Structure 1
Amino acid sequence: MSDCPFFASESLERQDMPDCEPSVEKQKKESHFRGGRSVRETALELLHSLFQHPDEGTPLPVMLACTVQEAGLDKRDAALLSELAYGVLRRHILLDVLLDRFLSKPEALSSRIRMLLRLGVYELLFMGGIPARATVSEYAGLARRRFGQRAGGLVNGVLRSADRDDEELLALVRRASAVEAASIPAWLMNMWVKQYGAEKADSFAFNTLEQAAPCWRVNMARDSAEALRDSWLERGYAPVGRHGFTSAGLPRERAGAAEEQQELNELEARGFLTRQGISSQLVAEFIADWIVQNGQVAQSELWDACCGRGGKTAALLEKGVRVALASDPAQFRIDELRRSVSRLGLQEPKIVCAQEQDVEASFPLILLDVPCSGTGTLGRVPELRIRLTPEKLNEAERLQASILEDAWSKLQPGGFLFYVTCALNQKENERRIAKFLAVHGTEHGGDATLCEQHLFLPELTGHDALFLAVLRKEITV
């Protein structure tokens, strides 16, 4: 999907922390906690900065990658930092609810002390393999060094109480509302309830709590594609559409097996595989199938007008779709698309760095993966919880309306436009299409017909939700 103004993909993956040997104190300190104090302090500063300045907009994976590089963290410490950052973002409202049970004046806490306590409680309740006494000691010591003895005593007392009452706290977690459990802003939850109903809104929220299982798409331009996919399905990986597979459902030790991960990475580097989420794979398959099934445009050329990093562009090229042009206003995304096409051994289409409005040409097929709020990506992009506002959704809606109007003027009569968002917001999806048809629909004297529209909801926890509408420009006399 294209990069939305308020959307970024999670490129620095979290990894499961290895279990410590709880009976050997020296081994714990020399292995799991080597550099741990600095990692926790780094997590504190990163999250504090993010919460204090959410509008700066740097994607969390970029923040993490820069922090890891600047701090010189090894792979294990980088994994701990990533786990803490993603975990606290996904559960910060819930963590505050739990913390307030142990604080007489929670409103008196400084923002940094509150963030430090969030980190400590998250580590105690949601991260396995780390001894509780070590967690308490690390955060209490950090508080003393940074904020003085009084702060250290407060943190020590709160975290020891949280550890002592952990079963009670976990029971509260299981009973928490969706807003609390998944730290969804109340205004967004209310919007989901109003648009989709309470049951679906709860499902959307709880879906965002887990890390998405990795998925891969086989390169259908290679002769060995189907055999390659079958070989991974035989190993126990689950199918994704017709051309992909995922590690979801594998035993934990298998899903993180270093040998298989290395093999997958090598296959990707050699152009046989690409990592791509479930819904994005299904949308690309749907579009490719639609083009083939409508024989009069099966050989027509397509313009990917908001191509982003080119995930769908490459998927369509692999499936034999004739992509004539891919455009995006960000040069770094264009550069990544070029690298992907080269890696996959595909014939490179014309690629330009340009706003959709600046392209002067007409096409029989247009893919419009418009900038959006990204509300369908909260599982993968947890920082949107504190960055999104109703005003930003309104801004996205206005931008989408402008882009759709302009792209429609460049669609040839008889052609199809595929409108895509990664939003869970009817104003950006169904209602945007309805408003467009109220002006351009054939029933109102225009030339637009809605062929069909779909909301691709996550098939597995943590994955994105995508919306797709197919519009046809009728041939008028």
Structure 2
Amino acid sequence: MRLPGRIAAAIDVLADVENRKRPVSEALKAWGLNNRFAGAGDRAAIGNLVYDALRRRASTAFIMGSHSPRALVLGAVLRAWGETPETLNAAFAGDTHVPEALTPEEISAAGAEIEAAPKIVQADMPEWLAPSLERAFGADLVAEGEAMAARPSLDLRVNALKSTPERVQKSLARFSPEPTAYALLGLTMPAGPRDARTPNVTTDEGYQKGWFEVQDQGSQIVAALAGAQPGEQVLDLCAGAGGKTLALASAMGNKGQIFAYDSDRNRLAPIYERLKRNGVRNAQVRAPEPGALDDLAGKMDRVVVDAPCTGTGTWRRRPDTKWKLTPELLEQRQADQAAILEEAVRYLRPGGTLVYITCSILPEENDDRVQALLAAHPELSSLDIASAWRKALVTDMPTSLATPAGGVLLTPHRTGTDGFYCHLMRKS
């Protein structure tokens, strides 16, 4: 397929997303099944167009004067893919089954200045979240939003139980991975432009042997900040598919014990195969049964809470969720976080450490939750996050990452990672 056909397909996919109210991934899969003539390169390019359009939906709609799928996709091609109205119209004129030529109004809109838009629109973030995001980022709101609207890198965490960064780099040399800026066992491959495809590293021999896992550098950083040590008793209370459980096991050198638990069996299901492939021997999976963790009460050296959240930190990867978030969902997530933090305290031994993590950039889910917990539990106190950073990552923590309540906030603009929050608390 040539670019005009890919543009037409992207418009169709976006229209399907809007009309059926379904995730972009499902709409793209459906399009591929109904158009089997399209090759892998075509499908990747169409996916890039759709995601690029959604990442900058607010600013593109402002410039183009419309939220229609056509306006969003044309805006993405003009703003992110380097095309011009002239090159597009020339391409459209020489092809069939393609969008109509740009109208004079669309050509004029393509040159509009985004600086005339409100800051929250320039940042490509939901307008109703403006007070929260301004509280989080202040004068950096637009810069933070622009970074969040860029394509994410593909990051890997080397599994120290089985391999080394040098060995994995050699295995994946065809993709040119480079060391990450902060994570000691991280490798990264920057996103390419236009129709560039993401490297399929999971077919590599090293992945099959458990040498590495796909994991954003931000996730690696907060897992390292958890500070799990060999020989400790650690509870991963929201283990999910086990990404951080694997990182904790690697840090502990398979010594001590990790109890991996999640309240959702479906989320927990992939963990068993992943533990086996990674060579993890010190993790015990606890299924969500009544009283499944009762024997751990008051005994844990470390309780890691990777809390359910709005996922605002992952908007680069899932831009459709940016525009689906509602005040009601945010309120529900805050209630979930308060409940699970209250439960986590029960498992800490005296002197134990509570590690609170979210993939959110919103203060309501981060500092606010920690301050509420500390107010309710005087036996808890915050630990110095800068000292934890220095110990875990062998470098000084940039002061810009510190939050008012004593946590750390990673973002695409600040650290080149997804958005992650981490706060450490000690039980007296």
Q: Helix, strand or coil for the counterpart of 2:219?
A: helix
Distance 1:229 1:175 in 2: 47
Distance 2:179 2:23 in 1: 30
Q: Helix, strand or coil for the counterpart of 2:310?
A: coil
Distance 2:291 2:311 in 1: 22
1:428 corresponds to which residue?
Answer: 365
Q: Compared with structure 1, are the counterparts of its residues 122 and 408 closer, same or farther at alpha carbon in structure 2 (3 Å cutoff)?
A: same
Q: Among 117, 122, 125, which residue is 1:184 paired with?
A: 125
Q: Helix, strand or coil for the counterpart of 1:326?
A: strand
Distance 1:37 1:60 in 2: 16
Q: Compared with structure 1, are the counterparts of its residues 261 and 383 closer, same or farther at alpha carbon in structure 2 (3 Å cutoff)?
A: closer
Distance 2:44 2:71 in 1: 20
CA contact 2:223–2:248 (8 Å) conserved in 1: yes
CA contact 2:53–2:75 (8 Å) conserved in 1: no
Q: Among 180, 192, 208, which residue is 1:239 paired with?
A: 180
Q: Among 197, 215, 224, which residue is 1:285 paired with?
A: 224
1:211 corresponds to which residue?
Answer: 151
Distance 2:239 2:147 in 1: 27
Distance 1:324 1:261 in 2: 30
Q: Compared with structure 1, are the counterparts of its residues 422 and 185 closer, same or farther at alpha carbon in structure 2 (3 Å cutoff)?
A: same
Q: Which amino acid aligns with 1:204?
A: E
1:409 corresponds to which residue?
Answer: 346
2:64 corresponds to which residue?
Answer: 99
Q: Helix, strand or coil for the counterpart of 1:242?
A: coil
Whether 1:359 aligns to 2:300 is no
1:8 corresponds to which residue?
Answer: none
Q: Deviations over 1:420-473 (max 9, x none)?
A: 1111122211121111111111xxxxx222224432323668631211111222
Q: Which amino acid aligns with 2:58?
A: I
Farther off after superposition, 377-386 or 263-272:
263-272
Q: Helix, strand or coil for the counterpart of 1:361?
A: helix
Distance 1:226 1:346 in 2: 18
Distance 1:126 1:239 in 2: 25
Q: Among 350, 356, 360, which residue is 2:284 paired with?
A: 350
CA contact 2:312–2:362 (8 Å) conserved in 1: yes
- Unaligned runs of 5+ residues in structure 2 are 385-405
Distance 1:205 1:436 in 2: 29
Instruction: List aligned pairs for 1:139-154, cutoff 5 A.
Output: none
CA contact 1:132–1:163 (8 Å) conserved in 2: no
Q: Deviations over 1:16-74 (max 9, x none)?
A: xxxxxxxxxxxxxxx53596477245324333236xx3xxxx65335434543454342
Which structure would you say has the larger RCO, counting Cα contacts within 8 Å and 6 or more residues apart? Answer: 1
Farther off after superposition, 384-393 or 398-407:
384-393
TM norm structure 2: 0.79
CA contact 1:218–1:243 (8 Å) conserved in 2: yes
Q: Deviations over 1:355-381 (max 9, x none)?
A: 898632324121111101222222222
Distance 1:378 1:470 in 2: 25
Instruction: List aligned pairs for 1:222-301, cutoff 5 A.
Output: 222=162, 224-228=163-167, 237-240=178-181, 241-248=183-190, 265-287=204-226, 290-292=227-229, 298-301=230-233
Q: Compared with structure 1, are the counterparts of its residues 177 and 272 closer, same or farther at alpha carbon in structure 2 (3 Å cutoff)?
A: farther
Q: Helix, strand or coil for the counterpart of 2:270?
A: helix
Q: Compared with structure 1, are the counterparts of its residues 268 and 175 closer, same or farther at alpha carbon in structure 2 (3 Å cutoff)?
A: farther
Q: Helix, strand or coil for the counterpart of 2:62?
A: helix
TM-superposed deviation, 1:400: 0.6
Q: Among 234, 237, 242, which residue is 1:310 paired with?
A: 242
Q: Helix, strand or coil for the counterpart of 1:210?
A: coil
Q: Helix, strand or coil for the counterpart of 1:291?
A: coil
Distance 1:348 1:88 in 2: 44
The percentage of aligned residue pairs carrying the same residue is 22
Q: Which amino acid aligns with 2:309?
A: C
CA contact 1:302–1:325 (8 Å) conserved in 2: yes
Distance 1:356 1:470 in 2: 28
Q: Compared with structure 1, are the counterparts of its residues 272 and 236 closer, same or farther at alpha carbon in structure 2 (3 Å cutoff)?
A: closer
CA contact 1:120–1:135 (8 Å) conserved in 2: no
Distance 1:356 1:206 in 2: 45
CA contact 1:213–1:246 (8 Å) conserved in 2: yes
Q: Among 261, 265, 282, which residue is 1:327 paired with?
A: 261
CA contact 2:259–2:283 (8 Å) conserved in 1: yes
Instruction: List aligned pairs for 1:426-465, cutoff 5 A.
Output: 426-441=363-378, 447-452=379-384, 453-458=406-411, 463-465=417-419
Q: Among 13, 20, 25, which residue is 1:61 paired with?
A: 25
Q: Which amino acid aligns with 1:370?
A: A
Whether 1:47 aligns to 2:17 is yes
TM-superposed deviation, 1:412: 2.4
1:20 corresponds to which residue?
Answer: none
Q: Compared with structure 1, are the counterparts of its residues 135 and 361 closer, same or farther at alpha carbon in structure 2 (3 Å cutoff)?
A: farther
TM-superposed deviation, 1:418: 0.8
Farther off after superposition, 341-350 or 89-98:
341-350
Distance 2:95 2:19 in 1: 18
Q: Deviations over 1:222-272 (max 9, x none)?
A: 2x4143267589x67233421112123x9979x9699x8669833222211
CA contact 2:13–2:27 (8 Å) conserved in 1: no
Distance 1:80 1:251 in 2: 11
TM norm structure 1: 0.72
Distance 2:372 2:143 in 1: 28
Quick check: which one's helix share is greater?
A: 1
Q: Helix, strand or coil for the counterpart of 1:350?
A: strand
Equivalent residue pairs, number = 395
1:156 corresponds to which residue?
Answer: 101
CA contact 1:218–1:273 (8 Å) conserved in 2: yes
Q: Compared with structure 1, are the counterparts of its residues 457 and 33 closer, same or farther at alpha carbon in structure 2 (3 Å cutoff)?
A: closer
Distance 1:210 1:462 in 2: 10
Q: CA RMSD in A?
A: 3.6
Q: Helix, strand or coil for the counterpart of 2:423?
A: strand
1:87 corresponds to which residue?
Answer: 52
